[in-house]
């Protein structure tokens, strides 16, 4: 029973951590972001070298690129957490991230965070984050890893009524 | 006390199920979707016959229509769960669903899932799903059931400042 | 242990309350909205006098302005709750709010609710709500309080690859 309650509390804490990342990013509190990751974390947004970093300080430094946006808003949802040990977990979440440039053009991504986490010194931190992209509007140009989608079977026919 | 913890865990499981539907739909893992519904489930997206199905296999078959989209992203939020028995529940959730065609035009719906669920063989499944539409952009043409909105009282006057 | 479970249940109830606000607003059930706030609540959306109200009845009256929209959809996410006493809490949440006018033009805001809550007569109510705006599209004209963003350090240089 106590184990179950601990698990519920751990999940609550992990959810709060994922949410705090969004809040801190939207107000560009990069110190707060570094604090959510382990010292040796690995973060990969895409294949481009500039989209990868190792270590929480390097991550915070790398995210300075977000200052090229005038405003951003990161809406987190679809959070699931799985525990792989008493102090280890992974989580998946969706993010709807809106970005506005100083010329007021915008860029939107519909993405996912896939995270590995550990509990150290009584608190959870992200040890590995990989971002995937379900979709994006034409304003969003960053080459985030695409989320793979299954192909239709060979015999698939588009429905007769196009818009159903 | 144990009953309360069971309820919390059940709710957690139902939330994970609703999230898994979105993930599976966005990667078109239709077998995984069928697995989330009861064999005799009833699913209704709108009045059109093609938007309704009975049974988890028929649902998966019906959702093959989603292959007419190149990419989709289903962001789930506003989840509430009510238990109507120890193994019965209903839930309501919001979904922000983005769809992209192969010609790169897009379609967005702001919708709701209203679900009935039961627990069978130790796991929760959806027995009935009805979808409602709060709103949609001009690219989204599917006739989902509209979410009803109350009308203003007869004496209502629009505020003087239009944009407040 | 019982205290921890009570806290989990309280958080669950507060989350449901925040979600109910969105649902009630999207179907314009203003009586249901008034019921979520304390009699003496203070609600501030921005500096304009028309965007502020005191008391749950005045709030419901004030929100009649939402009838100038044909349809709305309020997607709540990023919810965190902190308890400041056994019957007091504050919460922060994000909202992606879509609005459609009768001429079918739209307005979208990416915002935050910062709430203070208390438990009275066994249920939680909002005693103070302030709304902040992370961002908005060009159709959204209401002057919601801006969410403050830190400025870049003086030595900041935009990354060479513009779109990273």
Per-residue pLDDT reduced to its tens digit, B37-94: 999 999 999 999 999 999 999 999 999 999 999 999 999 999 999 999 999 999 999 9
Pairwise CA distance, residues C11 & A156, whole Å? 46
Interface probe with A: pick from C149, C152, C157, C159, most Cβ of A within 10 Å? C149
B161/C71 CB distance under 8 A: no
Q: Are B46 and B143 in contact (CB under 8 A)?
A: yes
Distance between terminal CA atoms of chain C?
47
Residue C97 CA from chain centroid, whole number? 10
C39-76 pLDDT, tens digit per residue, is: 999 999 999 999 999 999 999 999 999 999 999 999 99
* Confidence label for B158 from pLDDT (cuts 50, 70 and 90): confident
Calculate Rg over the CA atoms of chain C: 18
Q: Nearest Cβ partner of B148 from C20, C27, C68?
A: C27
Which residues have C-beta within 8 Å of that of residue B160, sequence separation ≥ 6? none
Other CB atoms within 10 A of residue A116 CB: 17
| HSE-up (13 A, CA, CB side) for residue B146 | 8
CATH of the domain at A14: 3.10.450.50
In C, minimum Cα distance to B75 occurs at C75
- For residue C75, which residues of chain A lie inside 8 Å, CB to CB? 75, 77
C94 occurs within a structural domain:
yes
Q: DSSP label at A151?
A: P
The rounded percent of chain B whose pLDDT value lies above 70 is 97
A155 occurs within a structural domain:
no
B156 occurs within a structural domain:
no
Nearest CA to B36 out of B142, B146, B155, B124 is that of B124
* Beta-bridge partner residues of A38: none
B22 occurs within a structural domain:
yes
pLDDT of residue B112: 98
Q: Are B153 and C60 in contact (CB under 8 A)?
A: no
B153 occurs within a structural domain:
no
pLDDT of residue B161: 58
Averaged pLDDT for residues C11-25: 98
Q: Are B67 and B159 in contact (CB under 8 A)?
A: no
Q: Chain C closest CA to A87's CA: distance in Å?
A: 20
| More confidently predicted of B111 and B2 | B111
Residue whose tokens read 């989603």: B66
Other CB atoms within 10 A of residue C15 CB: 20
Q: Chains with ≥3 Cβ pairs under 8 A against C?
A: A, B
> What's the complex ipTM?
0.95
Q: Chain B closest CA to C75's CA: distance in Å?
A: 6
pLDDT of residue A39: 97
Low-confidence residues of chain A, pLDDT below 50? none
pLDDT of residue C56: 98
- For residue A156, which residues of chain B lie inside 8 Å, CB to CB? 64, 67
Q: Chain A closest CA to C149's CA: distance in Å?
A: 4
Average pLDDT, chain C: 95
Q: Nearest Cβ partner of B75 from A77, A92, A147?
A: A77
Pairwise CA distance, residues B151 & C158, whole Å? 50
| More confidently predicted of C59 and C163 | C59
pLDDT of residue C163: 61
C151 occurs within a structural domain:
no
Pairwise CA distance, residues C159 & A64, whole Å? 9
B159 occurs within a structural domain:
no
B81 occurs within a structural domain:
yes
Domain of residue A79 covers 2-146
- In this structure, the strands spanning C106-120 and C88-101 are antiparallel
State the Cα angle at C4 between C1 and C8, rounded to 5°.
140
A20-33 pLDDT, tens digit per residue, is: 999 999 999 999 99
Count of domains for chain B: 1
């Amino acid at each position: 029973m106590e184990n179950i309650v601990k698990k519920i509390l751990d999940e609550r804490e992990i959810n709060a951590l994922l949410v705090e990342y969004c809040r801190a990013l939207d107000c560009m509190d990069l110190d707060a972001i570094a604090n959510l990751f382990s010292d040796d974390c690995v973060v990969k947004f895409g294949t481009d070298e500039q989209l990868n970093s190792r270590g929480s300080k390097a991550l915070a430094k790398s995210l300075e690129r977000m200052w090229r946006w005038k405003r951003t808003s990161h809406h987190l949802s679809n959070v699931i957490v799985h525990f792989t040990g008493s102090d280890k977990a992974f989580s998946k979440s969706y993010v709807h991230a809106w970005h506005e440039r100083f010329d007021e053009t915008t860029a939107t991504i519909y993405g996912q965070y896939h995270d590995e986490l550990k509990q150290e010194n009584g608190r959870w931190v992200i040890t590995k984050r990989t971002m995937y992209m379900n979709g994006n509007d034409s304003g969003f140009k960053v080459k985030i890893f695409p989320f793979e989608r299954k192909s239709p079977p060979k015999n698939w026919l588009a429905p007769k009524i196009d818009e159903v």
